[in-house]
Chain A
Amino acid sequence: MSFLESVKEIIGLEQFPAPVFRATIIGDVAGFFEGVVDVQTWSDEQIVIRLKKGGFIINGKNLYLKKYCAGDLVVCGKITSTQRI
Chain B
Amino acid sequence: MYADEPMRPRTMQGRAPDVFTRGGWIPMQLRSDGEEVDFVVIGTGAGGGPLTARLAEKGFSVVAFDAGPYFRPLEEFASDEASQSKLFWTDERIVDGANPLKMGANNSGKAVGGSTVHFAMVSLRFRPEWFRSRTLLGYGADWPLDWREMWTYYAQAEQDLSISGPLSYPWGPKRPRYPYRAHEVNAAGLLLAKGAEAMGYRWSPTPLATVSAPRGNSPPCVYRGFCRVGCSTNAKQSQLVTYIPRAVRAGAEIRDLAMVGRIEVDATGRATGVHYHRDGVWRFQRARNVVVAGYAIETPRLLLNSATDRFPDGLANSSGLVGRYLMTQSNQAVWGEMEEEVRWNKGPPSLALTEHWNYDDRKDFFGGYCWMGQGPLPIEWSSVLTGARGLWGEALRRQMENYNHQIGLKMVGEMLPHLDNRVTLSEEHDQYGLPIPRITYSWTDNDKALIDHGLAQMRTSLELVGARNIFLQKDDTNHLAGTARMGFSRETSVVDADCRSWDIPNLFVCDGSVFPTTGGVNPHLTITAIALRTADRIEALAKRGEL
Q: A and B, one complex?
A: no
Residue numbers of B with Cβ under 8 A of A are: none
